[in-house]
Amino acid sequence: MDDVESRIIELVAKSKNLTASDVRLDSTFDELQIDSLDKINLSFAVEEMFSIEIPDESLNSLKTVRDVVRGVETLRAAALPDAASS
């Protein structure tokens, strides 16, 4: 498990007073009883942790922990200087 995955799993677990072992990459927010408000609060924590800005309208498409990991990786990659052009 890479660093982004483990940190997001920790964050999700903490938000619902769970242990990290209770949360899998394929856990759905419904399974974890994370409602829309929880998801928004989680998005603020993810933004702070990874220094990224999550587009407001993207939250509804996030259904699993893996969706969050992929979203963070995409946003972080987009924020990096383009290596190919440097």
Binding site for another protein (CB under 8 A): 35-37, 40, 43-44, 56-57, 59-60
Residue among 34 and 69 whose Cβ is closer to another protein: 34
Shortest distance in whole angstroms from residue 3 CB to another protein? 26
35 by DSSP, 3-state: which? coil
Shortest distance in whole angstroms from residue 10 CB to another protein? 22
- Listed in sequence order, the residues at least 6 apart from 73 whose beta carbon sits closer than 8 Å to its beta carbon are 4
Q: Locate tokens 């759905």: which residue?
A: 28
Residue among 27 and 43 whose Cβ is closer to another protein: 43
Residues linked to residue 28 through DSSP beta bridges, in sequence order: 64
